[in-house]
Structure 1
Amino acid sequence: MLIENENQNPKRKLYSCGYWQYNGLEKDTYGFTEIKSSLFENDYILDFSVGYYHTLILTSNSKLIVFGNNYSGELGTGDTEDQPFPIRIKLPKLRFNEEISNYHISCGVYHTFIYYSPPPFSNLEEDLIKLFQRKEFCDISFKTENGEIIEAHKLILKYRLNQNQNQIENQIEKLQEIISNKSIKESNQIFEMIYSNNSKINPKLYSEIKEIINSNEKIEETMKRIYLNENENEKDFIIERKEKQYKFPKLILIMRSELYRGMFLSVTEDKSNKVKDYSELSNKSFQILEYWIYSNQIKEEIEITQEIINELQVGIDYFQLNQTNPNLFDLLINKFNN
């Protein structure tokens, strides 16, 4: 089996030859013949693997296409029926920040592996853009000039728009007025600029919204303002620790912790809004962790001891924060050494 122009042509073609029941074609072929299927339309091939008598193909639209012998269930269809022609198997729904390219497939003789490598944490601006594009936890809608609906996250807008706490609704109305005169493409660009604070996406559009956004504020400062100023009753997830409760917006935990990203975005998500945390952290250590999750910083006045470092190393592992940049453990060690 061959794949054409692997590194150059995004519309890759797959060729096969051999016995018809295993080659993905309708007849025996003795020379390489392109496999054509409606499953490949408007799509391109990311990865493929060939076993003894079976083949799996991964495409850019989250499709897993299989065909061939299925005597031992190696096609993953849930039965042992052979599939001489390509059929599609659904992959799990992609979560926030995940790409189909994070999946890899490998076929053995009578078995198949699908390997998933979780994406690394990007910077917060990139994560916000991906969050906007994934439409997870959208809770506010805007209407474009053609009546199309574009959804956004009110929590993020609340702290990206240039306002005091009593004027947020006025600023959202101003944003709606701007969106109502724009196409869906321009509206998406406007929200990408608000989320990422990147005027280069469309300088002309940016000039129209710069009066209503915090154009000079870093994402970390925005998140810290949420932490310091947000009404406790508006935070929607509670971590119970001994005698104290810590409240977080789910969006913040998704962007900062792989543990909560998986918890909130899995297809079998627990719908409860609280969890008991039994990790061995003192309240002081947990408060350091809490502040860092929002701000990517350690408070200057905090004194770091070896005991706190040891505790927070456990917390970093528990919350799966090892991929974040900068790494909290590195910041702790630097502050301790200084």
Structure 2
Amino acid sequence: MNEVLFFGKNQTEKITKPIQFEIENENENEKQIKQISSSYFSTIFLFENGKGIEYLNPEFSNSKQNPQKIQIEENIQKVTVGYLNEAILTKEGNVFAKGIDINKTEFINISSLIEDENDRIIQDVICSSRSIYLLTSNQNAYGIGFNDFGQIAVQSIQKTQKPILMMKNVSKIFSGNSSTHVFLLNSNQELFGCGWNQYGQLGLGESIKETKVNKLTQIQNIPKGKIIDIQCGNMHSIMLIENENQNQNPKRYLYSCGYGSFNGLGETENTYQFTEIKLPLLSENDNILDFSCGYSHNLILTSNFQLIGFGDNDYGQLGNGNTNFQFIPIQIELPELRFNDYLSNYHIFCGFNNSFLYYLKF
């Protein structure tokens, strides 16, 4: 099976250094991990055969069985977990979800609730703290769930149990398992955001400091380059930019905004515009391979297999052997892994207060 490292809070203790995570799964055909997603609600392991298991938070489950198989007849393409919800995208383009904002105990097909029947094939899905976002094959973005901070970009409702159209002509949706804000990127590479903005986590600049931004607002002064990914913590956001001017091995850079203690800039003040995170730990030939944001901690994996972390560490979720808060990025010692030449197979995932490092095996 794939190697999976875990650190942070589990049900009984704090794990402050990366240890091997043993998946309680007896089916030998379900050992090759494709994806991991985790937050307060649950942790889901998706396997290469399109099946999945979930470790539910006992607070949300009447069953004593943990983990349990995800009972979806269709093959699963992607899993995503938020603070109070989880969603599953199948290869057929359907999205099944459950949680406080949808249905607490059983999966329901939320893609079938889209009013336009021609817009029900889903291309991507992502859970935020209490909302779920759908990207259809027609490049339309929908939101369902809570809207108390305007994170579904409507002004008249606090919560919806059916998907609401947010924007058309969308190429990507970015959010986070603990966030109440969201970013939408259109086909012209223009970025828009809405939701909670008390600490500047939308990167709208000094002139817009509203706590709630309940309409999609274009983000100005975006760093030059191609936006590869944006991940959202509860009070901060981190953007991965790739320099398009370099034809071979384009360099990647991280930019952040939001709450000063979590954004990795080494400052206690909030940052209202995306600002580059300086990473002196990276050598000239090193590059950013993957990164992830939890509620208030962040991890970066480099192409030279350095693991870098910063932010909250109360539960050991940075994996550096202690529980001290880290304002600036530090290197985290990793046990010897069975590394191979397929660098893109390695991934990290920050849950609510824990972390996973895993690789795909082909």
TM class, shorter-length: 0.3 to 0.5
Please identify which structure carries the higher helix content: 1
Please identify which structure carries the higher strand content: 2
What is the TM-score with the length of structure 1 in the denominator?
0.33
What is the TM-score with the length of structure 2 in the denominator?
0.31
Larger radius of gyration: 1
Q: Return the structure number with greater relative CO, CA threshold 8 A, min gap 6.
A: 2
